[in-house]
Amino acid sequence: MHLAFDLIVELDRALLSAAAAAGVEAGTFQPGVRTSDPRHGDFQANGVLGAAKRAGRPPRPLAEALVAHLPESVRRDFDVAVAGPGFINFTARPSLLLAWLQVYRTEGDLAAGASAAHAGETWVVDYSSPNAAKQMHVGHLRSAVIGEAIARLLAFTGAHVVRDNHIGDWGTQYGKLIWAYRRHLDAEALARDPIEEFERLYKVGNAAAEADPAVLEEARAELVKLQAGDPDNLAVWRHINEVSLEAFQRIYDRLGIKFDVTLGESFYNDKLEPVYSELARFGVSTESQGAQVVFHPEHPRFKTQPFIVRKSDGAANYATTDLATVLYRVEHFHARCVLYVVDKRQGDHFEQLFLTAAKWFEKRGQAVPRLVHVDFGTVLGEDGKPLKTRTGDSIKLRGLLDEAAERAFALVSQKSPDFPEDERRRIAEIVGVGSVQYADLSQHRSSDYLFSWDKMISLDGNTAAYLLYALARIRSIFRRQGLECGDPSAESGADAFQTPGEVAVARKLIKFADALRLSSETLCPHFLCLYLYELAGEFSTFYNADKVIGAEPAARARRLVLCARTLLVLETGLHLLGLRTLERM
């Protein structure tokens, strides 16, 4: 039996053909079907209002005409009603709910249903992208967590995703760093905490250069040698970057992140010349005080605020590299869309980059891909200021994740004191890291958020621990009955849902498709988080009201369908957000 995964897409289509059959002029009607307030049904179409207005017709009779022309199958599956000035409300019938849950029974089924959305498209996701030789800060963590969730959502909805870690591995800081590395490297400290040692070396080099002009000259000379490809300096530079990447990788491993490519800024060094020369030749850039810059006269600020693509000393910068990167991603990956998951404080840079790329590509006679700055707000400490340690340094991510696991261990030990300690530790790592991830994901990404251990690692509210616990609890329902979850024999003989609790869970489950679409279209994972949280809440209400074990056979079977599918959707959803899940908690 064919049954659409995303019922909204199906209803949109049905309404469009009903409109054609009812004589509505093509192109004047957008169905606008959305998930509705559950009191009015499951889905609501509000597009009649606009169409009627454009046609100068009263909306209600138009809505009624559309309903009369809906295909038989829609009337069989939904209770359809016209409401208010001309809304059309659709309430899924219990038979449809059961049929949908019987078709979409595995993660593979869900993926197959969801994959139509972005099939055949290549998306490059640029995320995490920390700077070598420097501590990754909470902003890079946020980028990593949000970027990974978005990459997974896009892949699940059918896109070919290229995960690219655009490491900052080139720049003037290497002069002082190499100078200090040669003279002051502490091998033991390097082995203990390489990034900390590199940060120390940079400070040493910087202080020495400030105190003594001769050192400044020497550091400059090291930089010039590096840029000219001197093998010794290249070797030091390579070592610094490799060791930095290894340190970053340990964080990525804890977060379950695997990049497809790590093309840092240095990768583009030999691809910068065409950027300058083409921009100048096409008249996109102009010269200003010896630098090559791009103005955007059509923009209120960027008509006077320049986008510097080549500094007056002839050197490239962040902007040049990013322009070369756009071209590479188009020519090499055939990207149709490129996402930059970066702190919103870099908003101006990306706005100028996108405007410049559009003009450059137009002159090249090439289509520019869709470029999106997937921005996010700052992580704030309890004092409302950007999160820092007491001494004002940036927080080390390893320590942050360790503390999360430690705090989660206390929670798990309190909840399940009888579990063996090593199991509690394993659970705590998943709950702790998951809590940090989930806190980054569950709020609108563009707003700043307050970092609070107590809110984040808690069984109450929209948290990772709450969802992981809800999921583990469903697993235990199956375990206690000696059943595999999703076992078809346990579900056979299920009849249509009856109790308010059953119906509410089933209605929520069929909207997983909508939550996925909304999250991937807006590139906002918090929509999926909220959906999972609400699903877990509906499930808990149902489970407290309706017994599963000991119910008569047909009721037991249909309730086991709800248990199994809630588990499936919670698990799929949490995996898409980048979290790991648990057997028990």
Residue 78: both structure tokens together: 């939904």
Q: Per-residue contact track with ligand ARG, 482 to 501, x per CB under 6 A?
A: --------------------
Residue whose CB is less far from ligand ARG, 166 or 517: 166
Q: Of the candidates 459, 542, 460, 557, which has an alpha carbon nearest to the alpha carbon of residue 506?
A: 542
Which H or E run includes 89?
strand 87-92
Cα 467 from Cα 536, distance rounded (Å): 7
Subset of residues 320 to 339 that bind ligand ARG, contact rule: CB under 6 A: 322, 325
The DSSP result for 477-522, as a single string, is HHHHTT--TT-HHHHTT-----SHHHHHHHHHHTTHHHHHHHHHHH
Binding piece for ligand ARG, criterion CB under 6 A, among 26-34, 126-134, 292-300, 372-380: 126-134
Nearest-approach distance from CB 129 to ligand ARG, in angstroms: 4
- How buried is 13 (Cβ within 10 angstroms: 0-12 exposed, 13-18 middle, 19+ buried)? middle
| Pairing between β-strand 160-164 and β-strand 379-380 as defined by DSSP bridges | unpaired
Q: How many residues in the shown chain lie near ligand ARG by CB under 6 A?
A: 10
Residue whose CB is less far from ligand ARG, 166 or 565: 166
Binding piece for ligand ARG, criterion CB under 6 A, among 127-135, 268-276, 377-385, 414-422: 127-135
Q: What's the DSSP call for residue 367?
A: P
Residue 350: both structure tokens together: 């990306």
Residue whose CB is less far from ligand ARG, 311 or 455: 311
Q: What's the DSSP call for residue 292?
A: E
3 state SS of 124: strand
Residue whose CB is less far from ligand ARG, 54 or 370: 370
Nearest-approach distance from CB 529 to ligand ARG, in angstroms: 24
Q: Of the candidates 521, 526, 438, which has an alpha carbon nearest to the alpha carbon of residue 157?
A: 521
Cα 325 from Cα 309, distance rounded (Å): 13
Binding piece for ligand ARG, criterion CB under 6 A, among 98-106, 110-118, 128-136, 376-384: 128-136
Q: Of the candidates 545, 559, 424, 418, which has an alpha carbon nearest to the alpha carbon of residue 481?
A: 559
The answer to whether 131 contacts ligand ARG (rule: CB under 6 A) is yes
Residue whose CB is less far from ligand ARG, 91 or 135: 135
Beta strands in 215-345 (DSSP E): 286-288, 291-294, 307-310, 337-343
Nearest-approach distance from CB 199 to ligand ARG, in angstroms: 14
Cα 175 from Cα 201, distance rounded (Å): 11
Residue whose CB is less far from ligand ARG, 18 or 136: 136
Nearest-approach distance from CB 269 to ligand ARG, in angstroms: 15
Give the one residue of 118, 152, 163, 166 binding ligand ARG; rule: CB under 6 A.
166
Cα 319 from Cα 357, distance rounded (Å): 11
Residue whose CB is less far from ligand ARG, 129 or 206: 129
Residue whose CB is less far from ligand ARG, 46 or 325: 325
Q: What's the DSSP call for residue 446?
A: T
3 state SS of 373: strand
Residue whose CB is less far from ligand ARG, 124 or 567: 124
The answer to whether 168 contacts ligand ARG (rule: CB under 6 A) is yes
Nearest-approach distance from CB 434 to ligand ARG, in angstroms: 25
Residue whose CB is less far from ligand ARG, 144 or 428: 144
Binding piece for ligand ARG, criterion CB under 6 A, among 27-35, 123-131, 170-178, 558-566: 123-131
The answer to whether 369 contacts ligand ARG (rule: CB under 6 A) is no
Subset of residues 335 to 364 that bind ligand ARG, contact rule: CB under 6 A: 340, 342
CB 379 within 8 A of CB 448: yes
Nearest-approach distance from CB 166 to ligand ARG, in angstroms: 4
Residue whose CB is less far from ligand ARG, 86 or 168: 168
Cα 15 from Cα 32, distance rounded (Å): 10
Residue 488: both structure tokens together: 């078809």
The single-letter code of the amino acid at 313 is D
Residue whose CB is less far from ligand ARG, 166 or 556: 166
Residue 572: both structure tokens together: 């799929």
Give the one residue of 36, 44, 129, 352 binding ligand ARG; rule: CB under 6 A.
129
Cα 369 from Cα 364, distance rounded (Å): 13
The answer to whether 373 contacts ligand ARG (rule: CB under 6 A) is no
Residue 196: both structure tokens together: 């900390």
The answer to whether 126 contacts ligand ARG (rule: CB under 6 A) is yes
Residue whose CB is less far from ligand ARG, 325 or 572: 325
The single-letter code of the amino acid at 544 is N
Nearest-approach distance from CB 130 to ligand ARG, in angstroms: 6
CB 546 within 8 A of CB 497: no
Nearest-approach distance from CB 131 to ligand ARG, in angstroms: 5
Residue 11: half-sphere exposure toward Cβ, Cα within 13 Å: 27
Residue whose CB is less far from ligand ARG, 113 or 130: 130
The answer to whether 31 contacts ligand ARG (rule: CB under 6 A) is no
The DSSP result for 29-82, as a single string, is ----EEE--GGG-SEEE-HHHHHHHHHT--HHHHHHHHHHTS-HHHHHHEEEEE
φ, ψ for residue 19, nearest 5 deg: -65, -40
Binding piece for ligand ARG, criterion CB under 6 A, among 114-122, 124-132, 466-474, 508-516: 124-132
Nearest-approach distance from CB 149 to ligand ARG, in angstroms: 17
The answer to whether 233 contacts ligand ARG (rule: CB under 6 A) is no
Q: Which residue has the tokens 């309706």?
A: 546
Q: Residues in the site for ligand ARG, rule: CB under 6 A? A: 126, 129-131, 166, 168, 322, 325, 340, 342
